[in-house]
Structure 1
Amino acid sequence: MKRLCLALLVLFTLLVNPLRANAANIPRANTDEAIIDFPNTITFRAQLTANASIQSVVLEYGDNQLTCGEVIAKAFPEFTPGKTINVQWTWDMRQSGSIPPGATIWWRWRITDANGQESVTEKKTITWLDSTYKWQSLTEGNVRIHWYKGNQAFAREILAAAREGLARNEKSAGLKPNGTIEIYIYGDYDALRSAVLYTPSWTGGMAFPEFNIVIIGISPNNLEWGKNATVHELTHVLVGNLTFSCLGDVPTWLNEGLAVYSEGGLDSTSQRQLNQAIQQNTLLTVRSLSGGFSEVADKANLSYSQSYSIVKFLVETYGQPKMNELLLALRDGTPIDDALRQVYGFDVEGLEDAWRAAIGAKPRLAAPNPTATAQPTYVPTIVPISGLPVAVTPTPYVIPTSSISPPASAPTAEANAPRQNNSQEVNSIWLWTAIGLFCGCLLVLILLTFVVYLVREGRKGENHA
């Protein structure tokens, strides 16, 4: 029994000692931090120590946004190799573009020492947020409000509006949140726009579905507008959650129409503008609303109002399950025309016809069928595998429409001319080669004779002396 225990003890020691040795050799981070200069940069820096000289360091970093696959960004900071090194690298948002306030950033260091041993430090996270404000938080269900200006009653009204918006979206389109939605409320529009780089001057709120984040500029004296804006942006997050895909997208009229519909309806000014467009037959086509809206104020406002009216028609005529089915079809990459046919039995133009009839507008003017004309097919120039680089530019190349080959052209006189006899030219080359060799040999012989003469004259001089 004693021998068995001794054998087990020896075996345990043999197993544990290598593990201890490996643990001792793993590089460690003496310091590891991220410093935020909001909203411009975040600097990652660390002091790393290992038993062997550290030869390679790679910073791996990223954020928590929803993507089609795992995304790991890498940076290669400069440093002097050694057993203890200091490294740092700065992520400049002014070059890469901003991420929204409240996003989670993660990072870690991948280290390789002189022995070829690779290790990774512990993954760390930080919240990308302006720390100059004293943020407060309030959570209820799947919504969390963050604010710094205004009292608790102000925040609770925003939270209540958001909760009502969630319920309305689930009822009208079957939209549900995918996790907790973070809503950051800035004290005014200017503070909001300063939090995200390169934001248009007219921005009052922004939704980031891939982050589950909404940011809005709401002052306490503009609460009613803020409640509607919160529901509007919240809806964009819900639509983005349901339809996230790398295969297709949602047309603007549907996305914005659902957002306005979730607010509860149009205000009196927007409704009056829509009624006027119906009466004067100045409605925009539904297909034109599939892309970005106009920057002209009147057209932009009409675009939102029409989008609301179209979504209202679909939801209240065909029901919530159909709307949810349409969104799922778009998520799966089905083009909007095919998705509408699949769910409702009509395409975009058919939708416009049915919607116009429902609201009492004049029938849509059918666009004339364009005459088909032959267009050149552009074949790209391919970069050669080797050799000097060439510019990759599309080369216009018209694909022939006929398979009949043109008649062969008559052979030219140059092609038919007999080849000349080159025998005289070859003989001339051999002659001049022989002459050259003879002259070379003669020159060498003369030089040797001159050298021998000098040697003999030198010896005669020595004998006379």
Structure 2
Amino acid sequence: MTRRFALLVAVLGLVFGASVAGPVAGAATSVTFEAPSVEVRFGQAITWSQGFGSATPPARVELMTRLTGTETWFVQEVQAREVGQATTGGSAYRVDFIDGGFYLPNGVIDYRFRVTTPDGVVDGPRATVRIEDDRVTWKTLEGDVVRIHWYEGSEAFARRALRFGEEAVASASALLGVTETEPIDFYVYGDPTLLQTAIGPNTKEFVAGRAIAEIRTLFGAVAPDQIGSDWVPVLITHELTHLVFDTATQNVFHDPPHWLNEGLATYLSEGFGSGDRQRVANAIERGTLLPLDALASGFPQAREELFYLGYAEGTAAVDFFIRRYSEAKLVDLIRSYADGVTDDEAFRAATGAGIEAFGQAWLEDIGAREPKAYGPQPPAPGPTPADWAIGGGSATPAPTEGSGGPTPSATPGPDGGGAAQTGFLVGVIVAALFVIAAGVIVVIVRRGRPASSAAAPPAGPEDGP
């Protein structure tokens, strides 16, 4: 390769690289930012605000948000309005973006604005805001790891809830071999409706609690008439077990099956009780049992009975695992997910067979037949389009279910339609190879000529030696 050609390639590479890389962050030094601000109206909207000055009109302004501690920014384009002259020169602009999206209480959000001008891209200063449910006045009681937030009931209720919470964390941590040191917040709502609106607009009315591991926060509903009941330790133990389970299995690849997570939480908080046993027995009798792989990503929420059947089946599967393989093997199974293994790898290491084989063994143990698969089914075969028959082949309908006899095949007829199709493809390939070979020969011939045989263009004023 000649030096001049190498230089050309290098220049083209730089030009192409610059064109695909886009503007460089920090290049537009003519943009100056004020401190950003935010106004949170929980359950209604959040207003993100930013003032900035720019010597040139901005081509694009974006709001960037992310959950504190995570790496991925969520980017939304926003509109900036000109509000006068900037003290540093150019125009002053302001953004007041009203965001109607949903944000969980107790989540800490990083946010900043980004401005793109013809000069480049500049990121504004970063700030944080904690989302708070200010519809009620919270009281807080803090233990070694757990913090109880409540507004209904006495301090005695909160101390009882805190004791159950600390015991639940200690018990689950000892079982799974992990240590919890970061605080865990538990918000106890006295009104189930407030809970449902706090944890998401699509929350069903029969959901009594939720654990959000990403923000180490739990939410639960305890009505005033339930404050002294046995429901309190069940709810608190169940939800806190989820947080410990997440610590034990945390990895960047995928979550363990949902039924395993919920099954363990239920098993540790109330065991495989008579109510769940009856739900499983009824489902077996009615033929409505759900296969475990249908519960791997979540539980059905279309109907309340199916939602609670998911919990019952998950608990039944955990109970079976312990009886068949031991509690120590269950712990090994759960802890293995921290290594990023697949479901099959985790179950094969713990039981000697994959997750599908475990599901079959569980069905046999409870005396259930394999549930019938519903949902999308493969379509019935139809006729072959006439244009698909090349070289005179026949286009006859493919056999359909229940046709009552043999059906002619849609393969090419005896006149050689299949051979004609093959010959056509071979011809295309040969022609392509011929064109490539011709191009290579031309390049070789041109490179073999002496340099003096080609007339050099006249040197311009910018040409060097």
TM-score after normalising by structure 1: 0.62
Task: Return the alpha-carbon distance in structure 1 between the equivalents of residues 287 and 371 of structure 2.
Answer: 16
CA distance in 1, matches of 2:278, 2:117: 71
- Does 2:252 match 1:251? no
RMSD, aligned CA:
4.0
| Whole-Å separation in 2 of the counterparts to 1:406 and 1:291 | 47
Q: 1:139-150 maps to which residues of 2 (within 5 A)?
A: 139-150=142-153
Report if aligned partners of 1:100, 1:208 keep a CA contact under 8 Å in 2: no
Report the alpha carbon displacement of residue 38 of structure 1 after superposing the two structures with TM: 1.5
- Tell me by how many angstroms 1:260 deviates: 0.3
Contact 1:54 1:82 in 2 (8 A): no
SS of aligned partner of 1:248: coil
SS of the aligned residue for 1:239 comes to helix
The aligned counterpart of 2:237 is 231
Alignment-derived partner of residue 441 in structure 1:
none
In structure 2, the CA distance between the partners of 1:253 and 1:111, relative to structure 1 (3 Å rule), is closer
Partner of 1:79: 81
User: Which protein has the larger Cα radius of gyration, Structure 1 or Structure 2?
Assistant: 1
Q: 2:329 aligns with which of 322, 325, 350?
A: 322
What SS does structure 2 have at the residue aligned with 1:210? helix
1 CA distance for matches of 2:201 and 2:194?
12
Q: Kindly tell me: are residues 212 and 401 of structure 1, through their superposed partners in 2, closer, same or farther at Cα, counting changes over 3 Å?
A: farther
Which of 199, 204, 209 is the equivalent residue of 1:205? Answer: 209
SS at match of 1:27: strand
Tell whether 2:278 aligns with 1:269: no
Between the aligned partners of 1:110 and 1:366, the Cα distance in structure 2 is: 55
Q: CA deviation at 1:374?
A: 12
Counterpart-to-counterpart distance in 2, 1:217 and 1:55: 48
TM-score, structure 2 normalization: 0.62
Aligned-partner residue type, residue 34 of structure 1: V
Whether 1:130 and 2:129 are equivalent positions in the alignment is no
CA contact (8 A) 1:210 1:241 kept: no
Q: Give the aligned partner of residue 344 of structure 1.
A: 351
Q: Distance in 2 between matches of 1:366 and 1:190?
A: 38
* Distance in 2 of aligned mates of 1:65 and 1:26: 26
Q: Give the secondary structure class of the aligned counterpart of 2:196.
A: helix
Distance 1:57 1:292, change over 3 A: closer
1:43 aligns with 2:47: yes
Cα distance in 1, alignment partners of residues 280 and 420 from structure 2: 67
Instruction: Report the alpha carbon displacement of residue 64 of structure 1 after superposing the two structures with TM.
Output: 2.1
Matches within 5 A, 1:373-452: 406-408=418-420
Seen in structure 2, the aligned counterparts of structure 1 residues 160 and 63 have a Cα distance that, compared at 3 Å, is: farther
Instruction: Give the percent of matched residue pairs that are identical in Structure 1 and Structure 2.
Output: 26
Contact 2:64–2:73, Cα closer than 8 Å, also in 1: no
Q: How far does the alpha carbon of each residue in 1:145-195 deviate from its partner, in whole angstroms, 9 at most, with x for none?
A: 222222222222222222222123223334554732222222210111222
Q: Which letter maps to 2:96?
A: Q
Native 8 Å contact 1:173 1:321 kept in 2 = no
**C-alpha displacement of 1:327:** 2.9
Cα-to-partner distance string for 1:85-117 (whole Å, 9 max, x where unaligned): 332212221xxxx23111112222345789x59
Matches within 5 A, 1:365-376: 365=369
Aligned to 1:172: 175
Q: Secondary structure at the match of 2:419?
A: coil
- What is the total number of aligned residue pairs between the two structures? 348
- Note if contact 2:192-2:208 (Cα within 8 Å) is conserved in structure 1: yes
1:286-365 → structure 2 map (5 Å cutoff): 286-294=292-300, 295-315=302-322, 318-352=325-359, 354-355=361-362, 361-362=366-367, 365=369
Q: Does 1:240 align with 2:269?
A: no
d(CA) in 2 for partners of 1:171, 1:264: 18
Tell me the equivalent position of 2:450: none
Amino acid in structure 2 at the alignment position of 1:269 = G
CA distance in 2, matches of 1:302, 1:288: 12
How far residue 275 of structure 1 moved from its aligned partner, in angstroms, is: 6.0
- Identify the residue that residue 110 of structure 2 maps to in structure 1: 106
For the 8 Å contact 1:112–1:118, the answer to whether it is kept is yes
Q: Which amino acid aligns with 2:99?
A: W
Greater shift after overlay, 282-291 or 201-210? 282-291
Q: Unaligned 5+ residue runs, structure 1?
A: 1-23, 377-399, 410-465
Structure 2 spans left out of the alignment, 5+ residues? 1-28, 87-91, 373-377, 382-409, 422-465
